[in-house]
Amino acid sequence: MYALCQLAVYAVVVFQALLVDCAPTPVKDAKNVELDRRAPTITTVDARLFKIDGRTQYFAGTNTWWLGHLYDNRDVDTALSQIAATGYKVARVWGFGTTNNPSQSTDVYYQVLNSTGQYFNYNPENGIARLDYAVAAAEHYGIKLILPLNNNFDALGGINTYTNVYGGTHNGFFTNAAAQAAYKNYIKFIVQRYKSSTAIFSWELCNEPRCSGCDPSIITRWASDTSAYIKSLDNLHMVSLGDEGWLTSTSSYLPNNDGSYAYSGYEGVDFEKNLAIPTIDYGTFHVYADQWGYNYTWTNTWIQQHNAVGRKLGKPVLLEEYAVSDGEDRLGIESQWQDTILGKTSVGGDLMWQFGTKLPSGINPYDNYALYYGTSDYQALASEHALAMTQKTPTAYL
């Protein structure tokens, strides 16, 4: 079997049968030094907060969706060292990367789905080795990673890469038996590969899952089944849904739940019912008020509403994405949201969308929401906020 594992490392795609016995090889940094593993313990829930490396605490973090899709180790080292220097505890990194046509792919990809089958990419240049390096480097720099295992959208291979092969529509993915079997096969591939890593903060079912126009019970059943499956593979790490936190009439007791878009259930997600699933450890919510038809001040209401649901159910909630685009008064707007989190809620943590910096290779994977390391806005909204969150008394009393 050792010989088979060696062959698998150099194959562009291999069947999953080779997976179980093929552990990641030691990873070296940009200077060819093998990375050590400093992150000492697995992160857990502690009532409505998180225990990170043995300490119950509030925290701040960031999104670096691209970290496992970088070709150059120097870029990974630069990003993670700066994230650690900021005082951030957690980074959210895409744990998916699927293509239906590898011959036309110019991106790093971890999985191939097409008419010939399901394969995993062990090519050290553009396959799972890139995520291996990101996970090992995160251990080295003491950063925890949230790994979403699928994407609602098409970027880097989401739900539609499954329905392209197994048939049906985007909304049908959640009940498509063949698509779900392949999805669980991929989950097993990733979870078994990294389940011993203390760098994993949580496994996330999907980035922003939506079933537009569906009854929310569809995603609730899917989330219950999938999260239970992940727990059967790894009962130590946390599991989250990765949703935007859409509210429905289930949460009609909340002030300002007016039935408008974010409260209508249109996207087929019921935050409160999903948070009640026993195998979902904490709740996630995102906010892009300008994209959703609300003003920026409304974001403070959205934060407090999710805090209230977490308080009701006795589970942590995490503001997993928030941003103001270039050209807006980012400092003035986002600092108000951060003040709400710090002073008016027991929201366990928040993750800025997204971290930006000058990478050694010269590539630029950012959008117009990036907050750049070393700028004055970054100092206030990232470094100073991270310190304030860490210093907040670790009790959930709001």
Residue 379 phi, psi dihedral angles, 5° rounding: -55, -45
- Residue 295's Cβ-side half-sphere holds a number of Cα atoms within 13 Å equal to 1
213 and 265 Cβ atoms separated by less than 8 Å: no
Asked if 208 is an active-site residue, the reply is yes
For residue 202, the cross-strand partners are 146, 238
CB atoms < 10 A from the CB of 360, how many? 13
Residue 16, classified by CB atoms within 10 Å of its CB into exposed (0-12), middle (13-18) or buried (19+), is: middle
Half-sphere exposure of 216 (CA within 13 A, CB side): 19
Token output for 328:
């807006």
Strand 355-356, strand 238-240: pairing? unpaired
Catalytic residue selected from 208, 267, 272, 334: 208
Amino acid at 3: A
Choosing from 139, 204, 267, 321, the catalytic residue is: 321
d(CA 360, CA 392): 35
The whole-angstrom distance between residue 7's C-alpha and the CA centroid of its chain comes to 31
Q: Which residues of 327-354 are buried (b: 16+ CB within 10 A; e: fewer)?
A: eeebeebbbebbebbbeebbbbbbbbbb
CB 208 within 8 A of CB 353: no
321 is annotated as an active-site residue:
yes
Around 341, how many Cα atoms within 13 Å sit in the side-chain half-sphere?
A: 28
Of 34, 1, 15, 242, the closest CA to residue 132 belongs to 34
Q: Assess contact for 289 and 231: CB atoms under 8 A.
A: no
Taken in order 170, 175, 179, 185, is the CA torsion positive or negative?
positive
Residues belonging to the active site: 208, 321
